[in-house]
Amino acid sequence: MSSLNLDDFTDLIERPDGGVRRDAEEHRSRLVVPPGSLGRLDDLGEWLAAAQSSVPVRPVERPRVVLFAGDHKIAELEVSARPAGTAVELVRDVLEGGRPVSVLARRLGVPVRVVDMALDCDPASLPEDVVRHRVRRGSGRIDVEDALTAEEAEAAFRAGMAVADEEADSGTDLVVLGDVSVGGTTAAGVLVAALCGTDASVVTGRGGLAIDDLAWMRKCAAIRDALRRARPVLGDQLKLLATVGGADLTAMTGFLLQSAVRKLPVLLDGVVTAACALVAQRVAFRAPDWWLASHASGEPGQAKALDRMALEPVLPRGVAVGEGAGALLALPLVQAAAALAAELPARRELAKGA
pLDDT of residue 353: 42
pLDDT of residue 352: 44
Q: Is residue 33 assigned to a domain?
A: no
pLDDT of residue 209: 66
pLDDT of residue 208: 65
- Assessment of whether the complete model's pTM goes beyond 0.85: yes
Out of 46, 323, 343, 349, the active site residue is 323
Q: Is residue 4 assigned to a domain?
A: no
- In this prediction, residues 232-250 reach a mean pLDDT of 97
* Rounded Cα distance, 140 and 344, in Å: 53
Residue range 56-108, pLDDT digits in tens: 899 999 999 999 999 999 999 999 889 999 999 999 999 999 999 999 999 99
For residue 244, give the CATH number of its domain: 3.40.50.10210
Structural domain boundaries enclosing 151: 63-333
pLDDT of residue 2: 64
- In this prediction, residues 269-278 reach a mean pLDDT of 96
CB 292 within 8 A of CB 202: no
Omega within 30 of 0 (cis) for the link into 56: yes
Q: Mean pLDDT over all residues of the chain?
A: 93
Q: Is the pLDDT of residue 332 over 90?
A: yes
Known catalytic residue at 323: yes
Q: Is residue 150 assigned to a domain?
A: yes
CB 110 within 8 A of CB 103: no
Q: How many C-beta atoms surround the C-beta of residue 114 within 10 A?
A: 24
Q: Is residue 54 assigned to a domain?
A: no
51: Cβ contacts below 8 Å, ≥ 6 apart: 16, 263, 265, 290
Residue range 197-228, pLDDT digits in tens: 999 999 998 876 678 899 999 999 999 999 99
Type of residue found at 307: D
CB 319 within 8 A of CB 336: no
Of all residues in the chain, what percent carry a pLDDT higher than 90? 82
- In this prediction, residues 106-126 reach a mean pLDDT of 96
Domain count, the chain: 1
- In this prediction, residues 278-290 reach a mean pLDDT of 97
Q: Is residue 348 assigned to a domain?
A: no
Q: Is the pLDDT of residue 354 over 70?
A: no
* Rounded Cα distance, 176 and 197, in Å: 29
Q: Is residue 182 assigned to a domain?
A: yes
DSSP-assigned letter for residue 295: B
- In this prediction, residues 101-124 reach a mean pLDDT of 96
pLDDT of residue 132: 96
Q: Is residue 79 assigned to a domain?
A: yes
pLDDT of residue 92: 97
Sheet containing 266-268: give its strands across: 112-118, 63-71, 174-182, 266-268, 291-293
Q: Is residue 216 assigned to a domain?
A: yes
- In this prediction, residues 176-194 reach a mean pLDDT of 96
CB 120 within 8 A of CB 72: no
